[in-house]
């Protein structure tokens, strides 16, 4: 077996205890290279030496000198332990469904390496280094998304990572599908020969669940900012009351996420000439001795505007604890058994169980689905001539009755239909997955987390939310053009300009699928989130 790979200058070192979600996103989406921290090596080696000593003494060790799952009562001789590890990868190669996206696969590989780097798994440092070498070279196993119950970890999906390391499956390398053995040879590697516990160490953990979860919470944090931006621009489009976001109201009910959303919206609407405070809206309007007066508008905006911080605040507060849970999971020994080199014992447990990730993702799903519904309701107000304060029906350009194209255009009518359809899909997906435990594997896995399904659903709702937010942003940008963008606040005007740099004003009916895609990409870039945060009101 080759020694640990020679060191090069690395941008990130992993040690099993210090990885952040920002680090993970940078590796998964930004190409940040990573390697194994030197200070992690002694603990990794100590656990491996304990494993070897226990094997030599013929101590029965789950999944090392015994079979797996319900076969844990069948012990094998030390000479068979390596073959057992290769066989477990082959046995679990039964995934179905679409192939995981490259960012999910990169995140999964990083997380598997980080778990093993913690030094409790009994594997060699060379295995971790090989996994990171493939990650840095962008050799990505093609992982089917379906097949994990999220209880004994992500056995089926993670087997494809192990099988890539030993050269037995197809991979994506620089965007081209190749056999793993060919890709390994191109990097100067032979297929990796596993020793005892190493196959199990690769498959027995929550890395696939946590990859989806980490990317979902990162994207959801940006979406919380984008939703507040959408609310601010919708308030301007509807000539709304920015007094609904005054600090006094939210300090009287001080949920942190709600306070933050109100602060962001308040800052975004600062200096707006479209969304005014209550005193400005009703200046000069009084009874004047009369017993009755019909005001020119209501003193309160509809709930989808007025209560937006209360709704988005739930997402922000959910993210506060979900983010923490995800980072704990990322830096955990989530496999089984674990080797306690301090006490000289091997200990079996259930750290592979994805319960915390499942609960976090089911909760995130509900918060995001509520956000989709909020934006869908705001969009209805903006496009519907009965509620949009004098804007055109469906935000079509102003065509006079004598204009030759009068009556021909329907503007954002189709966009609202698409938005409502996606909202319904998000609401459907928000049903909890974790309550659907199924007893499996001969009643050995008799209570399972279903966290992988919850995390995949969270990913799907994130994508739906991004597309819904894109339609919303296109609509309110169109509305500000009709109102006059010079009257918008400085920050919402900047957001308007970012959208307009990618999508022109809709001057007549046209296909808008490419427009949605362009603004969705803008949302995913994080530029709008950064703009919203920069424009937030100062913290008092």
What are the catalytic residues? 62
Q: Is the omega angle on the peptide bond into residue 309 within 30 degrees of 0, that is, cis?
A: no
Query: For 248-381, where are the E strands, in sequence order?
Result: 338-340, 345-347
Name the DSSP class of 39: G
Q: Contact 482/216 with Cβ under 8 angstroms?
A: no
CB atoms within 10 A of CB 325: 18
Closest by alpha carbon to 156, among 357, 448, 430? 448
**Helices 207-237 and 513-524 sit at what angle, rounded to 10 degrees?**
110
Distance CA 452, CA 27 (A): 21
Closest by alpha carbon to 184, among 176, 192, 194? 192
Query: For 89-169, where are the E strands, in sequence order?
Result: 96-99, 139-141, 144-146
Reported as type and span, the H/E element at residue 339 is strand 338-340
Q: Is the torsion defined by CA of 46, 51, 55, 58 positive or negative?
A: positive
Q: Contact 483/244 with Cβ under 8 angstroms?
A: no
């Amino acid at each position: 077996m080759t020694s640990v790979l020679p060191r090069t200058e690395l941008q990130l070192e992993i040690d099993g205890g210090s990885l952040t979600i920002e680090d993970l996103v940078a590796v998964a989406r930004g190409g940040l290279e990573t390697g194994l921290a030197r200070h992690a090596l002694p603990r990794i080696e100590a656990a491996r030496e304990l494993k070897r000593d226990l094997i030599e003494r013929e101590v029965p060790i789950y999944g090392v000198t015994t079979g797996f799952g319900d076969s844990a009562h069948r012990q094998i001789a030390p000479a068979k332990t390596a073959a057992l590890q290769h066989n477990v990868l082959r046995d679990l190669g039964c995934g179905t469904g679409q192939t995981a996206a490259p960012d999910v696969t990169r995140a999964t590989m990083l997380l598997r390496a980080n778990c093993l780097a913690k030094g409790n798994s009994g594997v060699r440092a060379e295995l971790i280094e090989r996994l990171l070498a493939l990650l840095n070279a962008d050799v990505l196993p093609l992982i089917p998304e379906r097949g994990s119950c999220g209880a004994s970890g992500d056995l089926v999906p993670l087997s494809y990572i192990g099988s890539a390391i030993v050269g037995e499956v197809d991979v994506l390398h620089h965007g081209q599908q190749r056999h793993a053995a060919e890709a390994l040879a191109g990097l100067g590697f032979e297929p990796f020969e596993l020793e005892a516990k190493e196959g199990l160490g690769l498959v027995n953990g929550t890395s696939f669940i946590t990859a989806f979860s980490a990317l979902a919470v990162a994207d959801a944090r940006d979406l919380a900012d984008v939703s507040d931006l959408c609310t601010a621009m919708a308030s301007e489009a509807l000539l709304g009351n920015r007094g609904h976001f005054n600090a006094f109201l939210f300090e009287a009910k001080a949920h942190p996420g709600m306070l933050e959303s109100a602060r962001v919206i308040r800052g975004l609407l600062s200096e707006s000439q479209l969304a005014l405070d209550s005193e400005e809206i009703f200046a000069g309007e009084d009874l004047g001795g009369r017993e009755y007066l019909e005001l020119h508008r209501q003193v309160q905006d509809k709930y989808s505007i007025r209560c937006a911080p209360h709704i988005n605040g739930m997402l922000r507060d959910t993210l506060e604890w979900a983010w923490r849970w995800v980072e704990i999971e990322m830096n955990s020994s989530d496999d089984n058994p674990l080797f306690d080199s301090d006490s000289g014992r091997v200990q079996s447990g259930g750290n592979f169980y994805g319960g915390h990730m499942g609960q976090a993702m089911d909760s995130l799903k509900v918060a995001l689905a509520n956000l989709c519904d909020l934006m869908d309701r705001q969009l209805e107000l903006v496009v519907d001539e009965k509620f949009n304060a004098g804007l055109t029906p469906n935000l079509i350009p102003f065509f006079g009755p004598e204009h030759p194209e009068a009556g021909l255009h329907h503007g954002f009518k189709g966009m609202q239909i698409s938005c409502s359809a996606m909202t319904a899909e998000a609401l459907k997906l928000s049903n909890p997955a974790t309550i659907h435990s199924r007893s499996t594997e001969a009643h050995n896995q008799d209570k399972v987390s279903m966290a992988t399904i919850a995390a995949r659903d969270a990913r799907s709702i994130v994508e739906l939310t991004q597309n819904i937010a894109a339609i919303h942003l296109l609509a309110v940008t169109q509305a500000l053009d009709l109102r006059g963008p010079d009257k918008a606040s400085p920050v919402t005007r900047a957001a308007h300009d970012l959208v307009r740099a990618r999508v022109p004003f809709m001057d007549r009916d046209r296909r808008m699928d490419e427009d949605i895609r362009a603004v969705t990409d803008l949302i995913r870039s994080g530029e709008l989130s950064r703009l919203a945060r920069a424009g937030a009101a100062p913290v008092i």
